[in-house]
Protein backbone atom coordinates (compact mmCIF):
# COMPACT_ATOMS: atom_id res chain seq x y z
CA UNK A 1 0.00 0.00 0.00
CA UNK A 2 1.14 3.52 -0.61
CA UNK A 3 -0.41 6.81 0.21
CA UNK A 4 -0.35 8.69 -3.06
CA UNK A 5 0.11 12.34 -2.48
CA UNK A 6 2.45 13.57 -5.18
CA UNK A 7 1.74 17.25 -4.51
CA UNK A 8 3.86 17.25 -1.40
CA UNK A 9 5.02 20.81 -1.27
CA UNK A 10 6.58 22.63 1.65
CA UNK A 11 3.38 24.34 2.71
CA UNK A 12 0.44 22.11 1.85
CA UNK A 13 -2.01 23.05 4.58
CA UNK A 14 -4.33 20.17 5.34
CA UNK A 15 -6.43 21.32 8.26
CA UNK A 16 -7.08 24.72 9.77
CA UNK A 17 -8.94 25.32 12.97
CA UNK A 18 -10.15 28.86 13.64
CA UNK A 19 -11.29 30.22 17.01
CA UNK A 20 -12.68 26.87 18.09
CA UNK A 21 -14.57 26.99 21.38
CA UNK A 22 -16.26 24.17 23.27
CA UNK A 23 -18.37 24.73 26.35
CA UNK A 24 -19.71 22.09 28.74
CA UNK A 25 -22.39 24.01 30.61
CA UNK A 26 -20.59 27.08 31.89
CA UNK A 27 -17.17 25.52 31.65
CA UNK A 28 -15.12 26.30 28.52
CA UNK A 29 -12.87 23.33 27.75
CA UNK A 30 -11.51 25.08 24.64
CA UNK A 31 -11.45 28.85 24.14
CA UNK A 32 -10.74 30.31 20.69
CA UNK A 33 -8.21 27.66 19.68
CA UNK A 34 -6.33 28.15 16.37
CA UNK A 35 -4.32 25.34 14.82
CA UNK A 36 -2.78 24.67 11.41
CA UNK A 37 -1.70 21.18 10.35
CA UNK A 38 0.45 20.60 7.26
CA UNK A 39 0.81 17.46 5.22
CA UNK A 40 4.02 15.58 5.83
CA UNK A 41 4.60 17.03 9.28
CA UNK A 42 4.23 15.77 12.82
CA UNK A 43 2.58 18.40 14.97
CA UNK A 44 2.77 18.03 18.74
CA UNK A 45 -0.17 19.03 20.94
CA UNK A 46 1.08 19.66 24.46
CA UNK A 47 -0.58 20.59 27.72
CA UNK A 48 -1.26 19.40 31.23
CA UNK A 49 -4.10 17.09 32.14
CA UNK A 50 -7.29 19.06 31.75
CA UNK A 51 -5.74 21.63 29.42
CA UNK A 52 -8.25 20.70 26.70
CA UNK A 53 -6.18 18.50 24.37
CA UNK A 54 -8.69 15.66 24.27
CA UNK A 55 -11.59 18.03 23.71
CA UNK A 56 -9.80 19.60 20.75
CA UNK A 57 -8.95 16.34 19.02
CA UNK A 58 -12.42 14.93 19.66
CA UNK A 59 -13.86 17.93 17.79
CA UNK A 60 -11.49 17.34 14.90
CA UNK A 61 -12.46 13.65 14.91
CA UNK A 62 -16.17 14.50 14.99
CA UNK A 63 -16.80 12.92 18.39
CA UNK A 64 -17.71 16.29 19.87
CA UNK A 65 -19.36 19.28 18.23
CA UNK A 66 -17.80 22.72 18.79
CA UNK A 67 -19.85 25.45 20.44
CA UNK A 68 -18.40 27.98 18.00
CA UNK A 69 -15.52 28.35 15.56
CA UNK A 70 -14.61 26.94 12.14
CA UNK A 71 -12.88 23.84 10.88
CA UNK A 72 -11.34 24.09 7.39
CA UNK A 73 -10.24 20.90 5.65
CA UNK A 74 -8.14 21.35 2.52
CA UNK A 75 -9.45 24.88 2.04
CA UNK A 76 -13.10 23.97 2.52
CA UNK A 77 -15.02 24.88 5.65
CA UNK A 78 -17.12 21.99 6.93
CA UNK A 79 -18.92 20.37 9.84
CA UNK A 80 -17.61 17.03 10.96
CA UNK A 81 -20.81 15.52 12.29
CA UNK A 82 -19.44 12.25 13.63
CA UNK A 83 -16.35 10.06 13.56
CA UNK A 84 -17.59 8.24 10.47
CA UNK A 85 -17.59 11.58 8.60
CA UNK A 86 -14.07 12.26 9.85
CA UNK A 87 -12.93 8.88 8.61
CA UNK A 88 -14.50 9.56 5.21
CA UNK A 89 -12.33 12.68 5.00
CA UNK A 90 -9.24 10.65 5.81
CA UNK A 91 -8.86 11.47 9.50
CA UNK A 92 -7.84 8.53 11.65
CA UNK A 93 -7.38 8.42 15.39
CA UNK A 94 -5.51 6.16 17.80
CA UNK A 95 -7.05 6.54 21.22
CA UNK A 96 -5.15 6.63 24.49
CA UNK A 97 -7.69 4.34 26.11
CA UNK A 98 -8.13 2.04 23.16
CA UNK A 99 -11.54 1.85 21.58
CA UNK A 100 -11.31 -1.90 21.23
CA UNK A 101 -13.73 -4.73 22.00
CA UNK A 102 -12.11 -7.52 23.96
CA UNK A 103 -14.41 -10.37 23.00
CA UNK A 104 -14.28 -9.58 19.27
CA UNK A 105 -11.55 -10.61 16.84
CA UNK A 106 -8.90 -8.31 15.42
CA UNK A 107 -10.65 -8.29 12.04
CA UNK A 108 -14.04 -7.50 13.59
CA UNK A 109 -12.50 -4.67 15.56
CA UNK A 110 -10.93 -3.22 12.46
CA UNK A 111 -14.04 -3.66 10.37
CA UNK A 112 -16.06 -1.65 12.89
CA UNK A 113 -13.97 1.42 12.18
CA UNK A 114 -13.91 1.18 8.39
CA UNK A 115 -16.20 2.91 5.89
CA UNK A 116 -18.48 0.62 3.91
CA UNK A 117 -16.40 0.47 0.73
CA UNK A 118 -13.39 -0.91 2.59
CA UNK A 119 -15.19 -3.79 4.28
CA UNK A 120 -15.13 -6.74 2.02
CA UNK A 121 -14.20 -10.34 1.81
CA UNK A 122 -10.46 -9.94 1.59
CA UNK A 123 -10.22 -7.64 4.60
CA UNK A 124 -8.35 -10.32 6.55
CA UNK A 125 -5.86 -10.60 3.73
CA UNK A 126 -5.33 -6.86 3.56
CA UNK A 127 -4.87 -6.62 7.33
CA UNK A 128 -2.22 -9.31 7.20
CA UNK A 129 -0.32 -7.78 4.27
CA UNK A 130 -0.49 -4.18 5.48
CA UNK A 131 0.55 -5.06 9.01
CA UNK A 132 3.47 -7.03 7.60
CA UNK A 133 4.43 -4.18 5.29
CA UNK A 134 4.67 -1.74 8.18
CA UNK A 135 6.30 -4.20 10.55
CA UNK A 136 3.24 -4.38 12.77
CA UNK A 137 2.43 -8.13 12.73
CA UNK A 138 -1.19 -9.03 13.56
CA UNK A 139 -3.30 -12.17 13.34
CA UNK A 140 -6.74 -11.08 12.06
CA UNK A 141 -8.55 -13.97 13.75
CA UNK A 142 -7.09 -13.51 17.25
CA UNK A 143 -9.35 -12.37 20.07
CA UNK A 144 -8.33 -8.95 21.37
CA UNK A 145 -8.62 -10.20 24.93
CA UNK A 146 -5.65 -12.49 24.33
CA UNK A 147 -3.33 -9.74 23.02
CA UNK A 148 -0.76 -7.61 24.81
CA UNK A 149 -1.15 -3.87 25.13
CA UNK A 150 1.42 -3.23 22.40
CA UNK A 151 -0.40 -5.58 20.03
CA UNK A 152 -3.64 -3.82 20.80
CA UNK A 153 -2.17 -0.51 19.81
CA UNK A 154 -1.09 -2.09 16.54
CA UNK A 155 -4.75 -2.87 15.84
CA UNK A 156 -5.62 0.77 16.29
CA UNK A 157 -2.81 1.89 14.01
CA UNK A 158 -3.49 -0.69 11.31
CA UNK A 159 -7.14 0.21 11.40
CA UNK A 160 -6.21 3.82 10.64
CA UNK A 161 -3.69 2.87 7.96
CA UNK A 162 -6.24 0.79 6.07
CA UNK A 163 -8.19 3.96 5.41
CA UNK A 164 -5.15 5.58 3.81
CA UNK A 165 -5.36 8.50 6.21
CA UNK A 166 -4.42 12.08 5.34
CA UNK A 167 -4.30 12.98 9.02
CA UNK A 168 -3.50 10.64 11.87
CA UNK A 169 -4.29 11.72 15.44
CA UNK A 170 -2.36 9.90 18.16
CA UNK A 171 -3.28 10.38 21.81
CA UNK A 172 -0.40 9.50 24.16
CA UNK A 173 0.67 6.54 22.02
CA UNK A 174 3.89 5.74 23.85
CA UNK A 175 2.36 5.66 27.33
CA UNK A 176 1.77 1.94 26.93
CA UNK A 177 4.92 0.99 25.01
CA UNK A 178 8.39 -0.16 25.98
CA UNK A 179 11.15 2.23 24.84
CA UNK A 180 11.98 -0.25 22.05
CA UNK A 181 8.37 -0.44 20.90
CA UNK A 182 8.21 3.35 20.95
CA UNK A 183 11.22 3.53 18.59
CA UNK A 184 9.44 1.20 16.19
CA UNK A 185 6.38 3.41 16.34
CA UNK A 186 8.46 6.50 15.53
CA UNK A 187 9.80 4.72 12.47
CA UNK A 188 6.25 4.01 11.31
CA UNK A 189 5.25 7.64 11.87
CA UNK A 190 8.26 8.93 9.96
CA UNK A 191 7.44 6.65 7.07
CA UNK A 192 3.85 7.93 7.05
CA UNK A 193 4.94 11.57 6.98
CA UNK A 194 7.35 10.82 4.16
CA UNK A 195 4.35 9.48 2.30
CA UNK A 196 2.60 12.82 2.85
CA UNK A 197 0.43 12.10 5.84
CA UNK A 198 0.02 14.65 8.64
CA UNK A 199 0.23 13.55 12.26
CA UNK A 200 -1.24 15.30 15.29
CA UNK A 201 0.72 13.91 18.19
CA UNK A 202 -0.42 14.30 21.80
CA UNK A 203 2.16 13.50 24.43
CA UNK A 204 3.45 14.67 27.75
CA UNK A 205 6.90 13.12 27.14
CA UNK A 206 8.78 16.21 26.14
CA UNK A 207 12.00 14.45 25.13
CA UNK A 208 10.24 12.37 22.53
CA UNK A 209 8.35 15.42 21.26
CA UNK A 210 11.69 17.14 20.72
CA UNK A 211 12.99 14.09 18.91
CA UNK A 212 9.97 13.50 16.68
CA UNK A 213 7.86 16.58 16.03
CA UNK A 214 8.22 19.45 13.55
CA UNK A 215 5.80 21.91 15.18
CA UNK A 216 4.14 22.19 18.56
CA UNK A 217 1.02 23.86 19.94
CA UNK A 218 0.75 24.25 23.69
CA UNK A 219 -2.60 24.49 25.48
CA UNK A 220 -3.23 25.75 28.97
CA UNK A 221 -6.70 26.07 30.52
CA UNK A 222 -8.27 25.53 27.12
CA UNK A 223 -6.32 28.29 25.36
CA UNK A 224 -3.33 28.24 23.05
CA UNK A 225 -0.41 29.76 24.97
CA UNK A 226 2.38 29.06 22.49
CA UNK A 227 3.04 27.76 18.99
CA UNK A 228 6.68 26.93 18.45
CA UNK A 229 9.34 24.71 17.00
CA UNK A 230 10.14 22.02 19.57
CA UNK A 231 13.61 21.48 18.14
CA UNK A 232 14.52 24.98 19.34
CA UNK A 233 13.34 24.37 22.90
CA UNK A 234 14.53 22.39 25.88
CA UNK A 235 12.30 20.05 27.84
CA UNK A 236 12.37 22.56 30.68
CA UNK A 237 11.17 25.49 28.55
CA UNK A 238 8.43 23.34 27.07
CA UNK A 239 7.31 22.33 30.56
CA UNK A 240 7.31 25.95 31.62
CA UNK A 241 4.94 26.84 28.77
CA UNK A 242 2.63 24.01 29.76
CA UNK A 243 2.44 24.75 33.47
CA UNK A 244 2.70 28.52 33.27
CA UNK A 245 5.15 28.85 36.13
CA UNK A 246 8.46 27.16 36.57
CA UNK A 247 8.02 23.59 37.69
CA UNK A 248 8.76 22.78 41.28
CA UNK A 249 11.95 20.77 41.50
CA UNK A 250 11.88 17.75 43.71
CA UNK A 251 14.65 17.54 46.28
CA UNK A 252 15.98 14.13 47.00
CA UNK A 253 18.90 13.27 49.20
CA UNK A 254 20.54 9.94 48.72
CA UNK A 255 19.11 7.16 50.80
CA UNK A 256 21.76 6.69 53.46
CA UNK A 257 19.62 5.22 56.21
CA UNK A 258 18.60 1.90 54.75
CA UNK A 259 17.39 -0.30 57.58
CA UNK A 260 15.52 -3.55 58.14
CA UNK A 261 13.30 -5.29 55.63
CA UNK A 262 9.76 -4.08 56.35
CA UNK A 263 7.95 -5.62 53.38
CA UNK A 264 8.88 -8.96 51.89
CA UNK A 265 7.30 -11.03 49.13
CA UNK A 266 8.41 -14.64 49.09
CA UNK A 267 7.54 -16.85 46.15
CA UNK A 268 4.19 -15.13 45.84
CA UNK A 269 1.85 -17.03 43.51
CA UNK A 270 -1.68 -15.84 42.91
CA UNK A 271 -3.89 -17.30 40.22
CA UNK A 272 -6.47 -15.03 38.66
CA UNK A 273 -10.08 -16.11 39.01
CA UNK A 274 -11.24 -14.38 35.83
CA UNK A 275 -10.27 -15.53 32.33
CA UNK A 276 -8.93 -12.08 31.37
CA UNK A 277 -6.81 -11.62 34.50
CA UNK A 278 -3.06 -12.07 34.97
CA UNK A 279 -1.57 -14.79 37.18
CA UNK A 280 1.24 -13.76 39.51
CA UNK A 281 4.08 -16.26 39.41
CA UNK A 282 6.89 -16.76 41.92
CA UNK A 283 7.35 -13.15 42.95
CA UNK A 284 10.18 -12.27 45.34
CA UNK A 285 10.94 -8.77 46.60
CA UNK A 286 12.25 -7.02 49.69
CA UNK A 287 11.63 -3.39 50.59
CA UNK A 288 13.69 -1.93 53.42
CA UNK A 289 13.17 0.91 55.81
CA UNK A 290 14.30 4.19 54.27
CA UNK A 291 14.12 3.21 50.60
CA UNK A 292 11.74 3.53 47.70
CA UNK A 293 11.52 0.52 45.43
CA UNK A 294 9.63 0.91 42.16
CA UNK A 295 8.02 -1.68 39.95
CA UNK A 296 8.02 -0.64 36.31
CA UNK A 297 5.99 -2.35 33.61
CA UNK A 298 3.53 -1.92 30.77
CA UNK A 299 -0.11 -1.69 31.83
CA UNK A 300 -1.89 -5.00 32.15
CA UNK A 301 1.08 -7.13 33.18
CA UNK A 302 -0.25 -7.92 36.64
CA UNK A 303 0.21 -4.61 38.45
CA UNK A 304 -3.38 -4.51 39.71
CA UNK A 305 -3.21 -8.14 40.78
CA UNK A 306 0.10 -7.55 42.56
CA UNK A 307 -1.29 -4.55 44.41
CA UNK A 308 -4.31 -6.58 45.54
CA UNK A 309 -2.09 -9.44 46.67
CA UNK A 310 0.19 -7.19 48.73
CA UNK A 311 -2.61 -5.11 50.22
CA UNK A 312 -4.70 -8.15 51.14
CA UNK A 313 -7.66 -7.29 48.93
CA UNK A 314 -7.04 -10.76 47.59
CA UNK A 315 -5.92 -13.18 50.26
CA UNK A 316 -3.19 -15.69 49.51
CA UNK A 317 -3.18 -19.36 50.42
CA UNK A 318 0.39 -19.11 51.71
CA UNK A 319 0.92 -17.08 54.87
CA UNK A 320 4.60 -16.57 54.12
CA UNK A 321 3.96 -15.12 50.67
CA UNK A 322 3.68 -11.63 52.17
CA UNK A 323 5.51 -10.44 55.29
CA UNK A 324 4.96 -6.98 56.75
CA UNK A 325 7.18 -5.89 59.65
CA UNK A 326 8.34 -9.50 60.29
CA UNK A 327 4.73 -10.69 60.51
CA UNK A 328 3.76 -13.27 57.85
CA UNK A 329 0.37 -12.06 56.68
CA UNK A 330 -0.36 -13.71 53.33
CA UNK A 331 -3.57 -15.15 54.70
CA UNK A 332 -4.73 -11.96 56.39
CA UNK A 333 -7.16 -9.40 55.02
CA UNK A 334 -6.40 -5.78 54.22
CA UNK A 335 -7.40 -4.41 57.62
CA UNK A 336 -5.23 -6.89 59.50
CA UNK A 337 -2.34 -5.78 57.30
CA UNK A 338 -3.15 -2.13 57.97
CA UNK A 339 -2.85 -2.88 61.65
CA UNK A 340 0.79 -3.79 60.97
CA UNK A 341 1.28 -0.10 60.22
CA UNK A 342 1.00 -0.43 56.50
CA UNK A 343 -1.01 1.69 54.10
CA UNK A 344 -2.13 1.25 50.51
CA UNK A 345 -3.07 3.56 47.65
CA UNK A 346 -4.76 1.88 44.66
CA UNK A 347 -4.51 3.12 41.09
CA UNK A 348 -8.13 4.10 40.54
CA UNK A 349 -8.94 7.15 42.64
CA UNK A 350 -12.67 7.32 42.11
CA UNK A 351 -14.38 4.02 42.85
CA UNK A 352 -11.48 2.17 44.46
CA UNK A 353 -9.46 4.49 46.68
CA UNK A 354 -12.50 6.68 47.27
CA UNK A 355 -16.25 6.60 46.77
CA UNK A 356 -17.16 9.49 44.49
CA UNK A 357 -20.66 10.02 45.91
CA UNK A 358 -19.42 10.18 49.51
CA UNK A 359 -18.14 13.23 51.33
CA UNK A 360 -14.43 13.51 52.02
CA UNK A 361 -15.05 12.88 55.72
CA UNK A 362 -16.76 9.60 54.97
CA UNK A 363 -13.93 8.69 52.64
CA UNK A 364 -11.50 9.09 55.53
CA UNK A 365 -13.39 6.30 57.26
CA UNK A 366 -12.83 3.97 54.31
CA UNK A 367 -9.28 3.10 55.32
CA UNK A 368 -9.34 4.29 58.95
CA UNK A 369 -12.24 2.32 60.38
CA UNK A 370 -10.34 -0.71 61.56
CA UNK A 371 -6.84 0.47 62.33
CA UNK A 372 -5.35 0.40 65.78
CA UNK A 373 -2.66 2.94 65.08
CA UNK A 374 -5.11 5.45 63.67
CA UNK A 375 -7.16 7.75 65.80
CA UNK A 376 -10.54 6.28 64.85
CA UNK A 377 -9.92 2.92 66.41
CA UNK A 378 -13.03 0.94 65.59
CA UNK A 379 -12.83 -2.80 65.74
CA UNK A 380 -16.42 -3.82 65.56
CA UNK A 381 -18.79 -3.29 62.67
CA UNK A 382 -21.68 -2.54 64.99
CA UNK A 383 -20.08 0.23 66.97
CA UNK A 384 -20.70 3.86 66.32
CA UNK A 385 -18.87 6.27 64.03
CA UNK A 386 -16.95 9.15 65.58
CA UNK A 387 -17.80 11.88 63.09
CA UNK A 388 -16.04 14.67 64.93
CA UNK A 389 -12.80 12.73 64.82
CA UNK A 390 -13.20 12.02 61.11
CA UNK A 391 -13.83 15.69 60.39
CA UNK A 392 -10.70 16.58 62.32
CA UNK A 393 -8.57 14.15 60.30
CA UNK A 394 -10.12 15.42 57.08
CA UNK A 395 -9.33 19.01 57.97
CA UNK A 396 -5.78 18.04 58.81
CA UNK A 397 -5.28 16.11 55.55
CA UNK A 398 -6.77 18.91 53.54
CA UNK A 399 -4.49 21.53 55.19
CA UNK A 400 -1.31 19.45 55.12
CA UNK A 401 -1.60 18.21 51.56
CA UNK A 402 -3.19 21.27 49.96
CA UNK A 403 -6.43 19.55 48.93
CA UNK A 404 -8.54 22.14 47.12
CA UNK A 405 -12.29 21.60 46.97
CA UNK A 406 -15.47 23.66 46.88
CA UNK A 407 -15.98 23.00 50.59
CA UNK A 408 -13.90 21.13 53.11
CA UNK A 409 -16.43 18.31 53.11
CA UNK A 410 -17.28 18.19 49.38
CA UNK A 411 -18.24 15.00 47.55
CA UNK A 412 -15.04 13.19 46.56
CA UNK A 413 -16.25 12.91 42.97
CA UNK A 414 -16.43 16.70 42.60
CA UNK A 415 -12.67 17.13 43.17
CA UNK A 416 -10.23 17.38 40.28
CA UNK A 417 -7.99 14.36 39.68
CA UNK A 418 -4.95 16.00 41.24
CA UNK A 419 -6.80 17.15 44.35
CA UNK A 420 -8.49 13.81 44.88
CA UNK A 421 -5.12 12.06 44.56
CA UNK A 422 -3.60 14.46 47.10
CA UNK A 423 -6.49 13.66 49.42
CA UNK A 424 -6.11 9.90 48.98
CA UNK A 425 -2.34 9.97 49.49
CA UNK A 426 -2.69 12.37 52.40
CA UNK A 427 -5.31 10.17 54.05
CA UNK A 428 -2.87 7.25 54.09
CA UNK A 429 0.18 9.28 55.01
CA UNK A 430 -1.69 10.85 57.90
CA UNK A 431 -1.41 7.44 59.59
CA UNK A 432 2.40 7.65 59.37
CA UNK A 433 2.70 4.18 57.88
CA UNK A 434 5.90 2.18 58.16
CA UNK A 435 5.06 0.43 54.89
CA UNK A 436 3.37 2.17 51.97
CA UNK A 437 2.36 0.50 48.71
CA UNK A 438 1.16 2.91 46.04
CA UNK A 439 -0.03 2.05 42.53
CA UNK A 440 0.47 4.75 39.84
CA UNK A 441 0.95 7.63 42.33
CA UNK A 442 0.62 10.50 39.87
CA UNK A 443 -1.36 8.97 37.02
CA UNK A 444 -3.33 11.70 35.26
CA UNK A 445 -2.70 14.48 37.76
CA UNK A 446 -1.39 17.98 37.08
CA UNK A 447 2.30 18.82 37.44
CA UNK A 448 1.85 20.69 40.70
CA UNK A 449 0.06 17.84 42.42
CA UNK A 450 2.50 15.31 40.97
CA UNK A 451 5.47 17.20 42.37
CA UNK A 452 3.85 17.47 45.80
CA UNK A 453 2.99 13.78 45.90
CA UNK A 454 6.46 12.68 44.80
CA UNK A 455 8.04 14.95 47.40
CA UNK A 456 5.97 13.59 50.29
CA UNK A 457 6.79 10.03 49.22
CA UNK A 458 10.51 10.79 49.30
CA UNK A 459 10.17 12.56 52.64
CA UNK A 460 8.29 9.62 54.14
CA UNK A 461 10.95 7.16 53.04
CA UNK A 462 13.73 9.32 54.43
CA UNK A 463 11.94 9.22 57.77
CA UNK A 464 12.39 5.47 57.78
CA UNK A 465 9.35 4.01 56.03
CA UNK A 466 9.54 1.37 53.31
CA UNK A 467 7.78 2.44 50.11
CA UNK A 468 6.81 0.34 47.13
CA UNK A 469 5.76 2.30 44.05
CA UNK A 470 4.09 0.60 41.09
CA UNK A 471 4.27 2.85 38.04
CA UNK A 472 4.20 2.91 34.24
CA UNK A 473 5.90 6.28 34.07
CA UNK A 474 9.67 5.86 33.66
CA UNK A 475 10.34 9.55 34.40
CA UNK A 476 8.55 9.18 37.70
CA UNK A 477 10.37 5.96 38.47
CA UNK A 478 13.78 7.50 37.92
CA UNK A 479 12.80 10.55 39.95
CA UNK A 480 11.68 8.53 42.97
CA UNK A 481 13.43 5.20 43.17
CA UNK A 482 16.39 3.79 44.98
CA UNK A 483 15.89 0.41 43.38
CA UNK A 484 13.86 -0.70 40.37
CA UNK A 485 12.25 -4.03 39.46
CA UNK A 486 10.19 -4.75 36.34
CA UNK A 487 7.00 -6.77 36.03
CA UNK A 488 5.96 -8.52 32.86
CA UNK A 489 3.23 -11.13 32.42
CA UNK A 490 2.92 -11.63 36.15
CA UNK A 491 6.63 -12.23 36.77
CA UNK A 492 8.90 -9.81 38.58
CA UNK A 493 12.55 -9.26 37.76
CA UNK A 494 15.17 -8.79 40.43
CA UNK A 495 15.42 -5.25 41.83
CA UNK A 496 18.45 -3.31 40.63
CA UNK A 497 19.94 -0.10 41.94
CA UNK A 498 18.29 2.82 40.13
CA UNK A 499 21.58 4.48 39.26
CA UNK A 500 22.74 1.31 37.48
CA UNK A 501 19.66 1.06 35.26
CA UNK A 502 19.04 2.62 31.84
CA UNK A 503 15.75 3.03 30.02
CA UNK A 504 16.89 0.48 27.47
CA UNK A 505 17.58 -2.13 30.14
CA UNK A 506 14.19 -1.52 31.71
CA UNK A 507 12.65 -1.76 28.25
CA UNK A 508 14.18 -5.19 27.70
CA UNK A 509 12.87 -6.38 31.04
CA UNK A 510 9.43 -4.94 30.21
CA UNK A 511 9.30 -7.15 27.17
CA UNK A 512 9.98 -10.18 29.31
CA UNK A 513 13.77 -10.74 29.30
CA UNK A 514 13.61 -12.10 32.86
CA UNK A 515 10.60 -14.35 32.43
CA UNK A 516 11.14 -17.97 33.24
CA UNK A 517 9.69 -20.25 30.64
CA UNK A 518 9.17 -23.04 33.13
CA UNK A 519 6.80 -20.87 35.13
CA UNK A 520 4.71 -20.16 32.06
CA UNK A 521 4.72 -23.88 31.36
CA UNK A 522 3.48 -24.55 34.87
CA UNK A 523 0.74 -22.07 34.33
CA UNK A 524 -0.63 -23.59 31.17
CA UNK A 525 -0.20 -27.08 32.57
CA UNK A 526 -2.12 -26.09 35.65
CA UNK A 527 -5.39 -25.23 33.94
| 146 binds other proteins, rule: CB under 8 A | no
Q: Which of 16, 108, 320, 409 binds other proteins (CB under 8 A)?
A: 108
* Cβ distance to other proteins smaller for residue 77 or 260: 77
Least distance in angstroms from the C-beta of 371 to other proteins: 10
Q: Which of 2, 9, 232, 384 binds other proteins (CB under 8 A)?
A: 384
* Cβ distance to other proteins smaller for residue 84 or 236: 84
Which of these ranges, 194-202, 350-358, 431-439, 454-462, lies near other proteins under the rule CB under 8 A? 350-358
Q: In terms of Cα–Cα distance, which of 522, 458, 456, 466 is closest to 489? A: 522
| 49 binds other proteins, rule: CB under 8 A | no
Q: Which of 133, 207, 229, 348 binds other proteins (CB under 8 A)?
A: 348
| 189 binds other proteins, rule: CB under 8 A | no
Least distance in angstroms from the C-beta of 235 to other proteins: 31
Please give the angle made by the CA atoms of 453, 458 and 464, to the nearest 5 degrees: 130
* Cβ distance to other proteins smaller for residue 358 or 496: 358
| 120 binds other proteins, rule: CB under 8 A | no
Rounded Cα gap, residues 185 and 44, in angstroms? 15
Contacts of other proteins in 221-280 (CB under 8 A): 274-276
Rounded Cα gap, residues 158 and 154, in angstroms? 6
| 523 binds other proteins, rule: CB under 8 A | no
Is 397:403 a contact under the CB 8 Å cutoff? yes
Which of these ranges, 285-293, 320-328, 410-418, 469-477, lies near other proteins under the rule CB under 8 A? 410-418
- 3-state helix/strand/coil string of 479-526: HHCCEEEEEECCEECCCEEHHHCCHHHHHHHHCCCCCCHHHHHHHHHH
Contacts of other proteins in 278-337 (CB under 8 A): 308, 311-313, 333-335
CA atoms within 13 A on the CB side of 139: 8
| 352 binds other proteins, rule: CB under 8 A | yes
DSSP 167-187: EEEEESGGGGS-HHHHHHHHH
Rounded Cα gap, residues 189 and 445, in angstroms? 28
| 95 binds other proteins, rule: CB under 8 A | yes
Which of these ranges, 104-112, 243-251, 452-460, 473-481, lies near other proteins under the rule CB under 8 A? 104-112
Strand partners, 92: 168
Q: Which of 28, 104, 184, 247 binds other proteins (CB under 8 A)?
A: 104
Is 52:30 a contact under the CB 8 Å cutoff? yes
3-state secondary structure at position 61: coil
Q: In terms of Cα–Cα distance, which of 203, 201, 276 is closest to 238? A: 203
Contacts of other proteins in 58-87 (CB under 8 A): 62-70, 79, 81-84, 86-87
455: DSSP letter: H
Least distance in angstroms from the C-beta of 86 to other proteins: 8
Amino acid sequence: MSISNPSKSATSVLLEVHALTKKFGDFAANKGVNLVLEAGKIHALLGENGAGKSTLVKMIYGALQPTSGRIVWQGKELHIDNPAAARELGIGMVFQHFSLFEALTVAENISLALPAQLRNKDLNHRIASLSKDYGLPLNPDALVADLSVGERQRIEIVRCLLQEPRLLIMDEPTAVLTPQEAEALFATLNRLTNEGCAVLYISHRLEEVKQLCHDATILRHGEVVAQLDPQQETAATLAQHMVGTSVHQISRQSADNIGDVLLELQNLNQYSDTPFGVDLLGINLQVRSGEIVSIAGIAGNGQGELFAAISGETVNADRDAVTIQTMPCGQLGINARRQLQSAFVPEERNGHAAVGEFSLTENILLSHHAVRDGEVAVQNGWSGINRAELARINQHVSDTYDVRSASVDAEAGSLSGGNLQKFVVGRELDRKPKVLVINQPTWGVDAGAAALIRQVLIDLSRQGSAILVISQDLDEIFELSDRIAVISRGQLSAAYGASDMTREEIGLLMSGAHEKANLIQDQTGGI
